[in-house]
Structure 1
Amino acid sequence: MSTDKKISRRNALKRMGTVVVSSVIASSGMFSLASCEAKRNKRIIFYFTGTGNCLYIARQLAGENAELLSIPQMVKRGKYDFEADEIGLVYPIYGHMPLYMVRQFIQKAKLSAKYKFAVLTYGARKCDSVEIWDRISRKAGNAFDYIGTIVMVDNWLPNFDMNEQIKIDKHIPENLQKIMADINQQKHWHEPVTEEERQQHQGFMQRSGLDPEVGFLMKSEKCFTVTDACIDCGICTYVCPRGNYELTSRGVKTSGDCEFCFACIQNCPQKAIQFRKSEDGSFPDGTEKNPNARYRNEHISLMDLKLANNQKL
């Protein structure tokens, strides 16, 4: 007895269509894409950048899908509440400490995430920067699961020649790859600090006389001067994360609390912004290693810095 079941031409075409559509979806990866979208974590990365180092690192950690947010822009807009699966923060250490604006941000922020990581950039010595950030962030109720550092070109003009700094191989790609792997695996880890590094930081604080609760918070008008070489291009008015520069009818003027990030002096195309000499010999004294050498991260454009720090928006 025959067991064949006859089907109509219409049903046969419908079945063939279903098979073809299924094959196309499978071959295009749409099934796997939908699966990945369902599992993909939302990642937000906050950053502070003066010469592009931290913006470059933040971009690498973000990949294609994370949201990058400028700390100066968030502070300007008064935005401090954020929620995501993963929240990261990238900032430069000055004197082994976080900038004052970064401190302000973390003290006011409410960061809700199952995994939080921080990457601190430095150029010469990191000392106990990891422990300093851990104390500050924990006190603010924003403890981080992962805190690591990465050495970059040192843009500290008083002590370093930018032309010499960019020649040094600091193994940035290799170090960055390790950090990326750690974070993608949601590793819980704080970079170890030695007793020698703690002592080095204490010695620096004694020599500099800086307030450990404030760090490098200066006054722009006391630290910088604008010379006659200025052509009123206005770049400084865009790249300063505090908006301290103003283009007036009598040229560029500067005043206000200064993070000492050097975004202004490093990005001035005419080298018209210079350090003001300290009259009383206090730190910093206004000296510079090489007044003719300037630096911006090779992967970051001037427009990138303008968009990151522009306080006119």
Structure 2
Amino acid sequence: MIYCFSGTGNSLWAARELGSALNEPVEGIISYRSTERVICNDNVVGFVFPTYMNDIPWIAKEFLLKLLVRPNCYAFAVMTSSRGVSKNSFENIDAALCANNAKLSGAFNLQMPGNCIQSSHEQNAERLADAPSHVTHIAREVSSRTVNFTSVDKPPKRNFIESSFYYGTKRLGHLNAMKRFEITNACNGCGDCARACPTGNIRIANGTAEHDTNCAACYTCLHWCPQHATRVKLPSLRNRFQYHHPAITLDDIEHANAHTEHPSSE
């Protein structure tokens, strides 16, 4: 099983490519948000997440803490990011697994176009061209059960989720500003942003999009708006151009981020 979370489609694309190469199913973690416990008895369990401020998204931490896997399974993680470096991401995935007597064995970075800090069109094209060969390499490493991560067998801190840079309504100065959006007059109330939002944080009222406070900082709303009407108020990001993976559609994102009622999943 491969679990993923994606906003621009980078992680969803990578998860699908890995799933095809490894003959493993792929599921979006959002479908389990209302599930108290997720049980996976597979021998191989993978995670494909985007890197947010050198960490995994808080919504991924929320999922990992409810996931039960076999203690002796081969668990691997692929982090997609603009810089190709993830720092605390793998340590925190391992910590969440350790809370349920498992551990991370494989850790892989995949450099992709950025969804927050902007990379150029030329950089994006180069990264997209290189990505398939990198995914093929990762698939080979996973097939070989390569262990390239040393678990410290340390459970997560008590504020594991809430300490995330972009957690919910947490106020961290300029970091909170990175979650403040403005909706321009170009908005026609089409609802695409609300369809794609993984946390259900957006509603259409009086013909325009309105944001609440439960933001995952995935920037799905910014990158998928057909009218380019969603902008980040932070000056350094206000005029960044849209990006989403060319092989992923808005329907793909909506399906991957759908809220589904699951019993405790096995």
TM range (shorter): 0.7 to 0.9
Q: Kindly report which structure 2 residues correspond to 1:123-138, keeping only aligned pairs within 5 A, or say none.
A: 123-129=82-88, 130-138=90-98
Q: 2:242 — aligned with what? A: 294
Q: 2:227 — aligned with what? A: 270
Q: 2:136 — aligned with what? A: 177
1:254 and 1:223 map into 2 onto residues whose CA distance is: 9
Aligned alpha-carbon RMSD (Å):
2.7
Distance 1:262 1:54, change over 3 A: same
Other structure's SS at 2:126 match:
coil
Bigger Rg over Cα: 1
Find out whether 1:217 has 2:184 as its counterpart: no
Other structure's SS at 1:230 match:
coil
Other structure's SS at 1:150 match:
strand
Q: Which moved more, 1:266-275 or 1:302-311?
A: 302-311
TM (norm. structure 2) is 0.80
Q: Which moved more, 1:55-64 or 1:133-142?
A: 133-142
Q: Kindly report which structure 2 residues correspond to 1:1-313, keeping only aligned pairs within 5 A, or say none.
A: 44-63=1-20, 65-78=23-36, 80-112=38-70, 114-129=73-88, 130-156=90-116, 159-161=117-119, 163-169=121-127, 171-190=130-149, 213-219=163-169, 223-276=180-233, 286-289=234-237, 291=239, 293-311=241-259
Unaligned runs of 5+ in 2: 151-160, 170-175, 262-266
Q: Which moved more, 1:286-295 or 1:80-89?
A: 286-295
How far residue 215 of structure 1 moved from its aligned partner, in angstroms, is: 2.4
Distance 1:287 1:139, change over 3 A: farther
Unaligned runs of 5+ in 1: 1-43, 192-210, 277-285
Give the conservation status (yes or no) of the 8 Å contact 2:113–2:127.
no
Structure with greater contact order relative to length (CA < 8 Å, sep ≥ 6)? 2
2:162 and 2:201 map into 1 onto residues whose CA distance is: 24
Q: Could you report, residue by residue, the CA deviation over 1:128-182 in whole angstroms, capped at 9, with x for unpaired residues?
A: 23334333432454412212211111111xx315534423346212221211101
* Percent pairwise identity: 23
How far residue 287 of structure 1 moved from its aligned partner, in angstroms, is: 2.2
TM (norm. structure 1) is 0.69
How far residue 86 of structure 1 moved from its aligned partner, in angstroms, is: 1.3
Other structure's SS at 2:47 match:
strand
Kindly indicate which of the two structures has a greater share of residues assigned to helix. 1
Give the conservation status (yes or no) of the 8 Å contact 2:82–2:119.
no
Give the conservation status (yes or no) of the 8 Å contact 1:162–1:295.
no
Other structure's SS at 2:199 match:
coil
2:109 and 2:97 map into 1 onto residues whose CA distance is: 16
Distance 1:265 1:232, change over 3 A: same
Other structure's SS at 1:166 match:
helix
Give the conservation status (yes or no) of the 8 Å contact 2:8–2:220.
yes
How far residue 213 of structure 1 moved from its aligned partner, in angstroms, is: 2.7
Q: 1:25 — aligned with what? A: none
